[in-house]
Amino acid sequence: MILSTNNPNFRIFMQIGTCVLLILFLNIPLYASSAAFPIRGTVLDINGEPLIGVSVTEKGVNNATSTDNNGQFSLEVANENSILVFSYLGFSELEVSINGRATLNVTLIEDTQALEEVVVIGYGTQSRRNISGSITNVSEEDFNQGVNRTATDLLQGKVAGLTITKGSGDITNEQTIRLRGTSSLTGSSQPFVVIDGVPGLSMNSVAPQDIESISILKDASAAAIYGSRAASGVILITTKKGIESRPMIEYEGYAAVDRVANIPKVLSADQWRDYTSSHDINTEGIDRGANTSWFDEIMRTGVSQSHSLSMSGGGKSSTYRGSFSALDQQGVVRDNSMERYNGRLMFSQRALDDRLNLTFVGAITERNFSPTDTRNFVLAYNMVPVAPVKNDDGTWFDTQEYDQGNPLRNITYNKRDNKNSLFYGNIKADFNITEDFVAGISLLKQRESNDYGEYNDSQTERGRNDQGFAKRETWTADKRLLEATLNYKKIFDEHNFNFLAGYSYEDNYYQKNGAQNRQFVTDFFDYDNLGAGENLRPSDVWSEANMNKLISFFGRVNYVLQDRYTLTASIRRDGSSKFGANHKWGTFPAVSAAWILKEEGFLKDKDFFSDLKLRAGYGVSGNQAGFDPYRSLQLYGKSGQYYDDGKWYNAYQISQNANPNLKWEETSMFNVGIDYSILNNRLSGTIEYYSKETNDLLYTYKVSVPPYLYSDMLANVGSMTNKGIELVINGDIIRKDELVWNASFNLAHNKNRITSLSNDQFTTNSIKTGSAWIRGGSDNTTHIVEEGREVGTFYGWRFISLDSDGKYILDEMVDGKEGLTDEDRTYIGSAQPKLTYGFSSNLSYKNFDFGFFLRGVYGNDLLNFSRMSYATTQWLPGANVLEDALTNGLTDNPKYSSYYIEKGSFLRLDNATLAYNFDTGDVWGIRKFRVYVTGQNLFTITNYTGLDPEVQMSGLDPGVEGREYYPKTRTFSVGVNLSF
Amino acid sequence: MKRSKIYLITTIILSSLVFNGCTNLDEEVYDKLPVGEFGGTEKEINALIAPIYRTLKGVFPSNFFLLSECSSDMAITPTRKGGDWWDGGQYKELRLHTWTPNTVIPRNAYNSAFTSITSCNKIFSLINENENIENKEQILAEIRGVRAYWYYLLLDNFGNVPIVTDFSDTQLPTTKSRKEVYDFVLKELNEIKDVVRDDVTSASYGKVTKGFVYTLLGKMYLNAMVWNPDGGAKWQETVDACNVVMTLPYILEPNWKDNFSVQNQTSQEVIFPIIYSTADGGNGLPQRTLHYLDPIALGLNIGANNGLSAMPGYVKAFDDDDKRKLGSFLIGPMTDPATGQTLITAHNRPLIHTVDIDMKYNIDGDGWGQTEQEDGARAAKWEFEKGLNGDSENDFAIFRLADVYLMKAEALVRMGVDNVEATRLVNEIRKRAFDDPSKLKTNVTLEDIYQERRFEFAWEGTTRQDMIRFGKFLDPIPGWKKATAEKYLIFPIPTTALDANPSLTQNPGY
């Protein structure tokens, strides 16, 4: 339906595509006659790797170009005796006389005095030297080792200011990524992902083994070119490419075992019996003589393996790379697993005298995965250790006590299966209209679909009330994207200009349908025969669909003077269909400048500094991830049923408060930084300060009913700031032939502050949020969002001590009056760390190399929710409790207070890898043969008493280890890298 | 030169294409209906009116029900051993009369009332503006009837609240006095009483009818001395309103339990029900009241939460011969049908529901403590459907004819006229409850009628209003609560409402 040409959007899409292509081709003959003496060639380093962005200048004339992604260049020079100057930062300059040759292959030698790199930026690349925004580039050699599921895993802890948190041990869970703090109240602060220049793709669509480098655009001056989606930062992923005349086959593989690092310390059967007998509790009927550790029963050693094979290379005017990866992973909970297959093919070919470069990319990701049913953790906490898994006659033991049931029976018979496919095709054409003027177009079609099946067996805790419950749900998300760019660069004298103009059109269609049924005569069908259920209700079938469009215009000017002063300015105008009628379009400008102080006379001869650069930038970007389509409109939705004369009919009702003013959240950020390199490049790094302010925060604010129909309304109201400092030190400590030692340290501090929650239309003093739901503790909130405070502030009663009866003594004088009331609640902690840091070290000696990576946070608080839920003997004997209950003496009703807030600082040995690189001596053409062992999450130093101090950090109630928390794992893996 | 010209043309073509062709950002809606494309046919109009009745599901067994039964001496949600149902002390506050503007249940009740009223106003304006409707006046009266019922609940529980009838009015409303609210409800009812449908048929079941409007009028007049004391007593008006209802073809169901059966929509005693279905969200009282293991004994497939129980004094006042005692309460041992043995709780005690509720653990300074899990008689008035999976189907009668009988009897006794008729009305009710004719009354007193209402309407959400009208609401309950201050006769306006609308005024004393 969507692909049919009757669809007006599709027609427009195709028309634009055709026209842009046409324009490109119409321009072909325009530039065919201005050649004098054409020369082309390739620039390589001593390893034969192509160098990208090498400046190629005709000596004495204002005529220059630079090498492309394959290290190739072409230039028309005045005559056959012209001299070409090759310069590339970090490499020694080279002058070559053409001497009548038509092609020239040049090898540049590294100048160890000045290390330099080309960095991927939004819609292009730039020499690291001239970058004026805040961009961190992490390349393959710095990636985390071991079991890595996505690009995010590769980066964890590596980038100052980029906090990646695994909130759970569930291998199907996505991590929370926060760049420079939380800048949204809606919980959607994930950075925007761009893969090989294609914006808005999923991190899952690329296997970690296919990634060459990742750039993180940290400040708005760098990210604003991505407009209304860039406020939480942008992650640019560059995949590996084939290299001309270098056919290569690579294999990477590993096998890994996962064990749970910590399980909850609930009472063992012995402890339970000691307690009940010493307290004269009659346990007849409850104690069934068993000795069960319910957590051990539902957990296992997870075994994983990953294989990745790639082939790459290229001919005279083409390159290719194809790869296939398979990952099979088992979680440590028995129902948790994932299989993933990634295929990727990239083919690039030049034509029309190398003026046209066409690149085709096809990528496919298939995942079969089963997330854990976290309900089973609750059951494992509550089930008494003296109850058996199975009765003596081999039947399952089960119980209907509150929050109880046999978790292993649940896991054995119940299913939660996802089959997810994601594929996209992307065609890019770059056409050199002149050598300085490049037009590009990129077309993308992506589809992701998911098929979910769930079955709760009629005999299990999950399914017993329904007498069997089956559900199927599928969804499909289609994305189409067209981007057209024009790039013009001009160098004259000391002036180097680079202009970019672009247009982007994107639409997204989403559709979903599902059905469920219950009461099955047999459990044979699982979720494969919904019709066999006997209790279908009107709300048991559903379908939905939505769409959104995003249209953008953007441009950028980059100006470099004397290779010393850089000025970059960009602007993007974004229009989104999701925005309300009154705010369809937003403009996002940015400007930044850099000054290479080292080039100035007063530093030029100072040996202490190998390099010194000062940069500053300011930009405005947006976030529109916080709302779904149609939120600005007044709509009728189906609203249950009504009864009329013996029959039921569907009722319809206005489904939301319409808000035609709805728009993006807007973040403006100021960034200033110093890049330094001292002591002959032995020590280098960055110091940065940023200040960002986010306005028009989206939130479902409380409004008065009446006049509004509903008490919640999504609106742009509040504002908040994030200010911080980031520090990076890279040490090149030992640099000998056989012994090399590098280390890197990064440190970041961020301070979040909510500055306003009100405007002239909405007034909110504070939002009390987060549910402290425990047994007997409904309607409590854990956190507060309030002007002048930071997101993640814990709010509750202040605990003083326990009295002799084991009752809480809580500070009741906060409001100045005796008696404990809600007004005595106060600020009792903050989930936001004061510092986050990482330290990595790589030591190589002869053929060995050893690397380790430490990561930590300092100065945050956590809510130990499982202690609040289970650390009381009051649930004994019929439900199990934590060991802590035996000693804490608590007897009171459940109350949330600072008693359960703990310090969350930790230092973790995240990764340690020992590898051996064989001397292949080109035997059978083998270039590289490396074997390694890796341990992940080896130890954690912390005072936190719960399972793991690293918990979910998203949303407005971060920093809580819930009672359904999936514990983290410790992983050991053995791997091989082979290339030939 | 030539080249740059072409570039210029290229740019113009490109930009014109882009600007004209593809800057359209309208949203295409697929799974919802844009307002304006609905409401043209009778079916669509019925679908639009329906939400006014769906709002009533928020009354029982929800917040207004809890406000009535748990703040009066009818019911309690005790804190169980270990702390179940402590929930921040909100149920204790209802029991001890120590609630505040932050207490959850009054807040939720207030919000549900205004959400429902605003829905009514919105639907009123949609219908009012719709050109395609023939019997518009009657439909509008129907909507006003439901709205009046919500205002009646607010009048009873919160007293001073804003009155909003026009959805297009976007001003933040201001508080109106209880008298103004009383007058408003009365005016609305009087304006619609002869417009609404007057049939008593299966088609009128669950709809605003003449029977409903006059019963509500009767309630207004019966409580006039509480809600609008300056207006004086309205006993005769009460009798008149009840008489209108009694001329309509409602009957007292000979079998009292038929009012509470799973298929109780056939009861001809019901004047105005909330209609429930398992499929569409229903009556969740069994989940709220039953012990975790009770469903095993009763053959239900539901997860129960062991909350609501009856106050011991309320149950003990019943005559053991009164069929309504065991018809209202679940008392005694609960047996596992598989073994024939009494079920055993997690505290290793037999699951026997006692009438007494004994607070014996973790006693606070205010006397509140934890009880055993199994303590307390549970709500068993509505038939438990065997094999029930989810909410129950049993409809809840907001008004039924027995109430009208007792309202009229009360008004007659209060006026001091026609005790014979009052006694007859009470005995009509008692006849169903007792096999023994000697249990009938000969000369009813006001106290008899008060007690009779308690026997007849346990769990039916009338106790608080009755206790206030009989002047007993603030009295101490020995062993449970002290005498409490007059401000507790109405609930406070919730803090959240005052925050969202600074034009509101808090009730006196809070």
pLDDT digits (tens, 9 = 90+) for B432-451: 999 999 999 999 999 999 99
- Percent of chain B surpassing pLDDT 70: 96
Choose, out of A279, A540, A652, the residue to mutate when testing the contact with B (most B CBs < 10 Å): A652
What mean pLDDT do residues B329-348 have?
A: 94
Low-confidence ranges of chain A (pLDDT < 50): 1-6, 8, 10, 19-35, 112-115
Chain B: residue whose CA lies nearest to A579: B25
Token pair listed for A640: 């249950």
For A286, which of B34, B102, B348 is closest by C-beta distance?
A: B348
pLDDT in tens, B271-311: 999 999 888 877 899 999 999 999 999 999 999 999 999 99
Instruction: Flag whether pLDDT at B17 surpasses 80.
Output: no
How many residues appear in chain A? 980
How far is B115 from A447, CA to CA, in rounded Å?
Answer: 41
For A649, which of B38, B47, B265 is closest by C-beta distance?
A: B47
Chain B: residue whose CA lies nearest to A776: B84
- Residue whose token pair is 């004298």: A493
* Predicted TM-score of the model (pTM): 0.85
How far is A865 from A773, CA to CA, in rounded Å?
Answer: 9
CB contact under 8 A, B83 and A704: no
Chain B: residue whose CA lies nearest to A483: B18
Q: pLDDT value at position A28?
A: 40
A754 Cβ partners below 8 Å, 6+ apart?
A: A718, A719, A720, A785, A786, A787, A788, A789, A790, A791
State chain A's maximal CA–CA distance in angstroms: 104
Q: pLDDT value at position A702?
A: 83
Using a CB-CB distance cutoff of 8 angstroms, which residues of chain A are in contact with residue B31? 543-546
How far is A755 from A831, CA to CA, in rounded Å?
Answer: 18
A596 Cβ partners below 8 Å, 6+ apart?
A: A129, A563, A564, A565, A566, A611, A612, A613
Nearest to A868, CA basis, from A803, A789, A968, A799: A799
Three-state DSSP state, B145: helix
Using a CB-CB distance cutoff of 8 angstroms, which residues of chain A are in contact with residue B100? 821-822
Choose, out of B5, B9, B10, the residue to mutate when testing the contact with A (most A CBs < 10 Å): B10
Token pair listed for A359: 């690149």
For B280, which of A484, A538, A545 is closest by C-beta distance?
A: A538
Phi, psi angles (nearest 5°) of residue A244: -55, 140
Taking the Cβ of residue A19 and every Cβ of chain B, the question of whether any pair is shorter than 8 Å is answered with: yes
Using a CB-CB distance cutoff of 8 angstroms, which residues of chain A are in contact with residue B173? 704, 706-707
Taking the Cβ of residue A551 and every Cβ of chain B, the question of whether any pair is shorter than 8 Å is answered with: yes
Mean pLDDT of chain B: 92
Strands B270-274, B396-400: pairing kind: antiparallel
Instruction: Flag whether pLDDT at B364 surpasses 90.
Output: no
For A648, which of B277, B306, B362 is closest by C-beta distance?
A: B277
CB contact under 8 A, B17 and A652: no
Q: For residue A506, what are the β-bridge partners? A: A481, A550
Q: pLDDT value at position A15?
A: 55
Using a CB-CB distance cutoff of 8 angstroms, which residues of chain B are in contact with residue A30? 2-3, 6
Interface of A with B in 282-311 (CB under 8 A): 282-286
Q: pLDDT value at position A104?
A: 82
Nearest to A380, CA basis, from A458, A461, A293: A293
Using a CB-CB distance cutoff of 8 angstroms, which residues of chain A are in contact with residue B171? 707
Q: For residue A914, what are the β-bridge partners? A: A850, A933
Q: pLDDT value at position A35?
A: 46
Between residues B263 and A3, the one the model is more confident about:
B263
For A893, which of B22, B83, B281 is closest by C-beta distance?
A: B83
How far off is chain B from A516, nearest CA to CA, in Å?
13
Question: Inter-axis angle of helices B63-71 and B136-157, to 10 degrees?
Answer: 30
How far off is chain B from A149, nearest CA to CA, in Å?
35
Q: Please check whether residue A229 is in contact with residue A217, taking contact to mean a CB–CB distance below 8 angstroms.
A: no
How far is A447 from A723, CA to CA, in rounded Å?
Answer: 38
For A780, which of B25, B88, B501 is closest by C-beta distance?
A: B88
Q: pLDDT value at position B253?
A: 96
Token pair listed for A905: 């600082």
How far off is chain A from B89, nearest CA to CA, in Å?
9
CB contact under 8 A, A707 and B500: no
CB contact under 8 A, B346 and A821: no
Q: pLDDT value at position B25?
A: 83
Nearest to A911, CA basis, from A933, A932, A936: A936
Size of interface A-B (CB pairs under 8 A): 276
Chain A: residue whose CA lies nearest to B166: A707
Q: Is B170 exposed, middle or buried (0-12, 13-18, 19+ CB in 10 A)?
A: exposed
CB contact under 8 A, B86 and A27: no
CB contact under 8 A, A878 and B164: no
How far off is chain A from B372, nearest CA to CA, in Å?
12
Cα A332 from chain centroid (whole Å): 23
What confidence category does residue B11 fall into, taking pLDDT thresholds of 50, 70 and 90? low
B418 Cβ partners below 8 Å, 6+ apart?
A: B412
CB contact under 8 A, A538 and B279: yes
What confidence category does residue B6 fall into, taking pLDDT thresholds of 50, 70 and 90? low
For B389, which of A12, A465, A780 is closest by C-beta distance?
A: A465
Q: pLDDT value at position A246?
A: 76
Q: How many CB atoms lie within 10 A of CB A493?
A: 8
Q: Please check whether residue B383 is in contact with residue B260, taking contact to mean a CB–CB distance below 8 angstroms.
A: yes
